[in-house]
Amino acid sequence: MGVSLPRKELFDVPEGVIYLDGNSLGVLPKGAAERAQKTITEEWGGQLIKAWNTAGWMALPQVVGDRLADLIGAPAGSVATGDTLSIKVYQALAAALKMRPDRKVILSDNGNFPSDLYMAEGLIKTLDQDYELRTPAPEDVAEAITEEVAVVMLTQVDYRSGRMHDMDAITKRAHEVGAVMIWDLAHSAGAVQVDMAGSNAEFAVGCTYKYLNGGPGAPAFIYVRPDIVKNIEPALSGWLGHDAPFAMELNYRPASATERMRVGTPPILQLGVLQEALKAWDGVDMAELRAASQRLSDLFINEVEARCPMLTLASPRDANARGSQVSFAFEHGYPAMQAIIDRGVIGDFRAPNIMRFGFTPLYLDDADIVAAAEIIEDVMSNEHWREDKYNVRSRVT
Ligand SMILES: *Cc1c(COP(=O)(O)O)cnc(C)c1O
């Protein structure tokens, strides 16, 4: 048995807000501001450069990496932190291609998050060796895993629909044809049970500002399967991935573990905040969290469908085939979401017509879900979204 959920007392959510966007930017953990303040004033301000040793800054990326490893079913030392997820995608992909020099196909799917696909395109251009990126529909991916494929790179949970790939089955299929497997866990870490070690995949990457509540710009992470890490060639061979950064050697010599996937100076302020945020996961049983997430999202679907016939479910109805989010399609989804947000229920909108809601059992309960559905019903049945002010697009949707 894990600690009981939710743990609302650990977070600062504004009064009157029901936050259904923790899949995009998590909420503020209570200890975060104090931790940032301490790092700035006492450590940076008071100890200056000594803080790399005296305040544990140098060890922090690995300490946080080990905590993340635990959350994704990976052994200590197998996860490195830093940079952003897009960079980690690039590194994993570059390393994976090096492992299969005789193959030219990168297989992803057309439901993947654009940045993952853009990074693949950029890498292909840089390498300039006739690599090809294939993006079939998500449901056709398994069949598209052929012996031409060097790397299968997929995001487990679809950012728009919440549809979830079967990690074990796809990894197995990739390995059967000799392809390398990369999983993007952006919408999985802290949302669903992940067993990286059990999956046998070579790489995983993810971010920490979504379900893990690390805050805007929080560092990303990368997992490399321990038995292959010594043969992995880092494409971005920065000094902090070096085996001995302060030896100041003229040539690059990678660190022995996943630390070789680090690049430059770690973001200490953000890492400290993330370390604080991860305390909310202490004692949480991921199976219980997943069960709570499924209960909340099933309840949401039932409540919204009963109240809002104009909305069309755009996520799998089967909770086992979904991550921790539910999407509804609606032609006027953008203004509708603005009107809903204006009434205290925060979700988001993804082009062209998706209204997206995330479920975070650490700080949501059944009463929140019913209250949110009532507000959505009010906006939809009274067509509040027709008001002009909701029809002006912001830069971030
Ligand atoms: C959120 C997300 C990203 C964002 O990448 P950043 O470099 O952190 O901005 C990339 N890929 C996926 C699958 C995501 O869900």
Active site residue 350: no
pLDDT value at residue 396? 84
Is any ligand 1 atom within 6 A of the Cβ of residue 84? yes
* CB within 8 Å of 267: residues ≥ 6 apart: 82, 217, 219
What count of other Cβ atoms lies within 10 Å of the Cβ of residue 309? 10
Q: How far apart are alpha carbons 341 and 389 in whole angstroms? A: 12
Is the pLDDT score of 84 beyond 90? yes
| Plot region of 361 (φ>0 → left; ψ -120 to 50 → alpha; else → beta) | alpha
Span from the CA of 189 to the centroid of ligand 1 (angstroms): 12
Which fold would CATH assign to domain 8-29+285-391? Aspartate Aminotransferase, domain 1 (3.90.1150)
The beta strands (E) that lie in 13-69 are given as 18-19, 28-29
Each residue of 339-383: pLDDT tens digit?
A: 999 999 999 999 999 999 999 999 999 999 999 999 999 999 999
Q: Write the CB contacts of 136 (distance below 8 Å, at least 6 apart in sequence).
A: 107, 109, 110, 143, 144
In the chain, which residues fall in CATH 3.90.1150.10?
8-29+285-391
90 ligand 1 Cβ < 6 A: no
- Laid out side by side, the sheet with 132-134 consists of 79-81, 221-224, 203-206, 180-184, 149-155, 105-107, 132-134
Taking the CA of residue 113 as reference, the ligand 1 atom at the shortest distance is 13
pLDDT of residue 393: 85
Q: Is the CB of 109 under 6 A from ligand 1?
A: no
Q: Pick from 210, 209, 199: which is nearest to 72 by CA?
A: 199
CB-based contact 372:315 (threshold 8 Å) = no
Question: Is 356 assigned a catalytic role?
Answer: yes
| pLDDT confidence band for 283 (50 / 70 / 90) | very high
Ligand 1: which residue has its CA nearest to atom 2? Answer: 186
SS3 348: strand
- How do beta strands 79-81 and 132-134 pair? unpaired
Closest atom of ligand 1 to 84 CA is 7
pLDDT tens digits, residue range 193-232?
Answer: 999 999 999 999 999 999 999 999 999 999 999 999 999 9
Ligand 1 centre from 155 Cα, in Å?
10
- In tens, the pLDDT along 91-129 reads 999 999 999 999 999 999 999 999 999 999 999 999 999
What are 133-147's pLDDT values in tens digits?
999 999 999 999 999
Report the alpha-carbon angle 371-377-382, nearest 5.
135
Active-site position among 19, 113, 328, 363: 113
| Position in ligand 1 atom list of the atom nearest CA 88 | 7
3-class SS shares of the chain: helix, strand, coil, % to 5: 45, 15, 40
Q: How far is the CA of 86 from the centre of ligand 1 (A)?
A: 6
Ligand 1 binding pocket includes 186 (Cβ within 6 Å) = yes
Percent of the chain topping pLDDT 70? 100
Examine the residue annotation and report whether 184 is marked as an active-site residue of this protein. yes
Residue 397 has pLDDT above 90, yes or no: no
Q: CA-to-CA distance for 335 and 389, rounded, in angstroms?
A: 8
For residue 331, the CA-to-ligand 1 centroid distance in Å is 26
Please state, in angstroms and rounded to a whole number, the distance separating the CA atoms of residues 223 and 74: 8
Q: Which atom of ligand 1 lies nearest, measured to the CA of 207?
A: 8
Q: Say whether 210 is catalytic.
A: yes
The one catalytic residue in 83, 184, 348, 368 is: 184
Answer yes or no: is the C-beta of 86 below 6 A from any ligand 1 atom: yes
Residue 113: active-site member: yes
Catalytic choice (35, 67, 210, 260): 210
pLDDT tens by residue, 159-204: 999 999 999 999 999 999 999 999 999 999 999 999 999 999 999 9
Ligand 1 in reach of 115 Cβ (< 6 A): yes
Element containing residue 196 per DSSP (H, E): helix 196-199
Question: Among residues 19, 90, 203, 209, which one is catalytic?
Answer: 209
Q: Does ligand 1 have an atom closer than 6 angstroms to the CB of 113? A: yes
Return the pLDDT at 144: 98
For 32-281, CATH gives 3.40.640.10
What's the length of the chain? 397
